[in-house]
Amino acid sequence: MKIAVINSGSSSLKFKLFDMDTKELIYSKLVENIGEKNSKVKTHHEALESLDIDFSSLDAIGHRVVHGGDEFHMPTIVNDEVLKKIKNLIPLAPLHNPANIEGIEVACGYALNIPQIAVFDTAFHFHMPREAYLYALPFEMYEKHKIRRYGFHGTSHSFVSKESAKILKKDLSELNLITLHLGNGASACAIQKGISIDTSMGFTPLEGLVMGTRSGDIDPAILIYLQKELGLSVDEVDKILNKKSGLLGICGKNDVRELINSKDEKSKLALDMMIRRVKKYIGSYMALLGDVDAIVFTGGIGENSDYIRDKILDSAFFNGIKILVIKTDEELEIANECLRVLRV
Ligand code: ADP
């Protein structure tokens, strides 16, 4: 069985094709800078056209969709109604869902009779307990407006948790794990017996850890202050929090390799802030989980930087806990989820 996965971003399209009988990657291509000046590829449609693929030979196409709201907690075969509902979720993920939708629409045009399956980043966290996913806001904010914590990077946390179980030679249902997806976007997850019971990202992927360009947790009163006292518009505040904060905001750079090699004091400060925040989350998840079988690192920073891993773990508090470093494969996880849907 052949399953293709499309991870469509605003200016990129990542495509992977798997033989699901062997779980082998048969073909992969990353098209970047779509629609940008001097780029040959102007649209997502052209990006798909540039692939060396016979779409009629596929059994399904899986699509990464970042936000599934409170509507989608399972991989879902896309039809007109599902697509409409995903479009309705755009206000919850304005940076991500439109590009995901574009990928689905373009692929549907190419492969009319092949199931297109949406796999949601939020789905893995759907079973968090209420005390984890509710904000202490007036309850009607949740009931009427669906304002709650959703969590993201679900396919990655899920993938590395299953890989951890294989490495530890235990059933996932016997394990308590803390998974750390540390990339440009970053999140932590407390996984009890295979279920996400808490995660650092919330209503949007802005909450939690100090990221490349995102602030993570801040006092929400700062947003009021920025608007009331400094006269910033809603859009300006949005841009500051999502694009101008995090490591970039503190030291002007967000490539962690550069920060590590820099002698500049602010680069060190930015890394210290990032590391401290990760430590605080690990500590709080240890308190929630009780026994922790392993702390698992993944994502560009988590997989590649022993310097950052060592700094995060430089406390005796972590003695005796297994540390795993696992390369994530969100596309393979999406293909596995598609297989689950097709087999039902
Ligand atoms: P994204 O969230 O964009 O998918 P990635 O998971 O690709 O991000 O991670 C990108 C981050 O990983 C960048 O900050 C980059 O500097 C960092 N990174 C990659 N390799 C290394 C390395 N060897 N040492 C430290 N950081 C690294």
Per residue in 150-191, pLDDT (tens digit) is 999 999 999 999 999 999 999 999 999 999 999 999 999 999
**Residue 171 annotated to the active site:** no
Condensed to tens digits (0 to 9), the pLDDT of residues 185-212 reads 999 999 999 999 999 999 999 999 999 9
- In which residue ranges of the chain is pLDDT below 70? none
* Residue 20: φ, ψ to 5°: -80, -10
Q: What is the CATH code of the structural domain delimited by 2-120?
A: 3.30.420.40
The reported pLDDT for the residue numbered 11 is 84
Distance from Cα 301 to the centre of ligand 1, integer Å: 4
* Ligand 1 pocket, Cβ-based, cut-off 6 angstroms: 183-185, 212, 255-257, 299-301, 304-305
Q: What is the DSSP letter of 226?
A: H
The reported pLDDT for the residue numbered 84 is 96
Question: What pTM, to 2 d.p., does this model score?
Answer: 0.95
Distance from Cα 128 to the centre of ligand 1, integer Å: 28
Distance from Cα 59 to the centre of ligand 1, integer Å: 33
What are the domain boundaries of the chain?
A: 2-120, 168-330
Which atom of ligand 1 is least distant from the CA of 184?
2
Which atom of ligand 1 is least distant from the CA of 254?
14
The reported pLDDT for the residue numbered 95 is 79
Catalytic residue among 121, 198, 293, 329: 121
The reported pLDDT for the residue numbered 14 is 93
From 254, 257, 307, give the residue whose CB has the most ligand 1 atoms within 8 Å, as the site to mutate.
257
* Residue 18: φ, ψ to 5°: -115, 145
Listing from the earlier edge strand, what are the strands of the sheet with 186-192?
195-199, 186-192, 176-182, 294-298, 322-325
Is there a shared CATH topology between the 2-120 domain and the 168-330 domain?
A: yes
Distance from Cα 266 to the centre of ligand 1, integer Å: 19
Return the CATH number of 168-330, one of 3.40.50.720, 3.30.70.660, 3.30.420.40, 3.90.180.10. Answer: 3.30.420.40
Listing from the earlier edge strand, what are the strands of the sheet with 2-8?
24-31, 13-19, 2-8, 60-65, 116-120, 76-77
